[in-house]
Amino acid sequence: MARRARRGAEYDEFWPGYVDALSTLLLVVTFLMSIFMLAQYFASQESSGKDAALQRLTRQISSLTNILSLERAKSKSQEDELAALQASLATFKEENEKLSGFALSGENAAKSSAERIASLTSDIESEKKISSEALAKVDLLNQQMLALRRQISALNAALNASEKKDQEAQDRIKDLGKRLNAALARQVQELQRYRSDFFGRLRKLLAGRKDIRVVGDRFVFQSEVLFPSGQADISVEGLAAMDQLATAIVELEKQIPKEIGWALQVDGHTDNQPINSPQFPSNWELSTARAISVVRYLISRGVPANRLVAAGHGEFAPLSKGNDPDSLRKNRRIELKLTNR
């Protein structure tokens, strides 16, 4: 009787503490799960480029949470069963003490009580085994959560490294853009200086000719200076003017540094009177053919072909809107412009 009393006291002392420890462990695990899910939420907001990986981890965590919830429910049920067994054990102990005062009937009752106590003890041992399995599962869940946290930490590190590389690339692009803009600005300034020298030299060479003038940033030759009416072959008088122009361009080409991309643009223009000849069906063909004739002659006089551009505008870029003879004469022209490529 004394041994059974001590054994019952040991169960009474051991199981409440064990249940409290298990409950505390489950609460800690729940808290860690909450912290982890919050961390996962903020990490998912910062790492939009890793959505697929984080969603996969979220599904794993959700699965683990469901498993943990089932284990908690199972543990709660085991605690209830254990409490019921302990209550039954206490009841049997009381009955055993009441029956100990009887003789023959007492011996039979004691034997029955001992059998029932042995059965209850066996049940308690089974519950212990089940609780140990639950603890093992909880420990496995903790290990899996730790592995998930490590994966999230690695993803965050990769995202931070990617963002850092992207920022460095953006900084390099901005720096290159600034340097390119500065280089282009220098080239434009230098080309502007050479353009001024070129136009100044042409003014001296062609001084006194009213049919050759400067309009804005262009040197303008009236078509009558270079071509017969309705033709694209340069006249003798026009060849002399082109020789002076070619000399000035060749000298200019020697002075401009090689790294400056420049070109002499030759634009052909006509008046608005349609030509419609077999050779030139429209003013487009006539203006383009005249610009090409000037370019070909300049090439023959030593001007590099890669520094020349020919374009025909027909009657669609007039200097004067009138239809009087003077306006029409102004609109029939060849324009030269020094520009960058």
pLDDT tens, 94-147?
A: 776 776 655 445 556 556 666 777 777 777 777 667 767 777 777 787 888 788
Give me the mean pLDDT over the 54-66 stretch: 73
Contact between residue 308 and residue 295 where contact means Cβ atoms under 8 Å apart: yes
Query: pLDDT at position 103, please?
Result: 45
Assess whether pLDDT exceeds 90 at residue 66.
Answer: no
Q: What is the CATH number of the domain that holds 301?
A: 3.30.1330.60
Give me the mean pLDDT over the 149-170 stretch: 81
- Asked whether residue 125 falls in the same domain as residue 47, the answer is yes
The reply to whether 158 falls in a domain is: yes
Contact between residue 287 and residue 331 where contact means Cβ atoms under 8 Å apart: no
What pLDDT digit, counting tens, does each position of 237-247 carry? 899 889 988 98
> Which has the higher per-residue pLDDT, 340 or 271?
271
Tell me the average pLDDT of the chain.
78
Highest-scoring range by mean pLDDT, 37-41, 224-228, 293-297: 293-297
**Residue 44 domain boundaries:** 2-163
What pLDDT digit, counting tens, does each position of 279-322 carry? 999 999 999 999 999 999 999 999 999 999 999 999 999 999 98
- Asked whether residue 149 falls in the same domain as residue 240, the answer is no
Residue 218, beta-bridge partner list? 215
pTM of structure: 0.47
- Asked whether residue 69 falls in the same domain as residue 156, the answer is yes
Q: How many domains does the chain have?
A: 2
- Asked whether residue 158 falls in the same domain as residue 246, the answer is no
The reply to whether 11 falls in a domain is: yes
Look at residues 122, 148, 163 and tell me which one is the last residue of a structural domain: 163
Query: pLDDT at position 17, please?
Result: 65
Cα-based torsion angle of the residue sequence 183, 185, 190, 196 in order, rounded to the nearest 10 degrees: 160
Cα-based torsion angle of the residue sequence 275, 279, 285, 288 in order, rounded to the nearest 10 degrees: -120
| Per-residue confidence band for 168, with pLDDT thresholds at 50, 70 and 90 | confident
Give me the mean pLDDT over the 251-274 stretch: 89
Cα–Cα distance for residue pair 224/10, rounded to 1 Å: 126
The reply to whether 183 falls in a domain is: no
What are the C-alpha distances in Å from 46 to residues 35, 51, 157, 223? 17, 10, 12, 68
Query: pLDDT at position 63, please?
Result: 74
The reply to whether 213 falls in a domain is: yes
- Asked whether residue 229 falls in the same domain as residue 158, the answer is no
- Asked whether residue 252 falls in the same domain as residue 155, the answer is no
| Per-residue confidence band for 266, with pLDDT thresholds at 50, 70 and 90 | very high
SS3 state at 265: strand
SS3 state at 110: helix
- Asked whether residue 282 falls in the same domain as residue 332, the answer is yes
Contact between residue 331 and residue 279 where contact means Cβ atoms under 8 Å apart: no
